[in-house]
Amino acid sequence: MEWLVASLVASLVLTVLVNVAIRLWPGAAGRGFERISDWAERQQPSEAESGPGKVRVIVPWKAMLIASVVLTVVLNVVVRMM
């Protein structure tokens, strides 16, 4: 049970630290996004190979984090009851 609490605390602390870091350096999120976008564009094949148009991928990281925590707790409760 201690490792579960430690895992939850570490997850929350890391989330808070990342959000605080983004707030301390206001342009960091935009620069990071631009760098990742540039890198991703270089990794994609040319339009001649893949055809026109782009697909936008949305990653709901906050929902994924919440779902992960909830599912971890539920799974551990179920395992402990068995």
**Of 58, 67, 55, 73, whose CA–CA distance to 7 is shortest?**
73
Across the range 7-29, mean pLDDT stands at 82
What is the reported pLDDT for 10?
85
C-alpha 35/C-alpha 7 separation (Å) is 30
pLDDT for the residue numbered 46: 57
* pTM of the entire predicted model: 0.36
What pLDDT digit, counting tens, does each position of 43-65 carry? 765 555 555 666 677 778 788 88
Query: Would you state the pLDDT for residue 79?
Result: 84
pLDDT of residue 28: 75
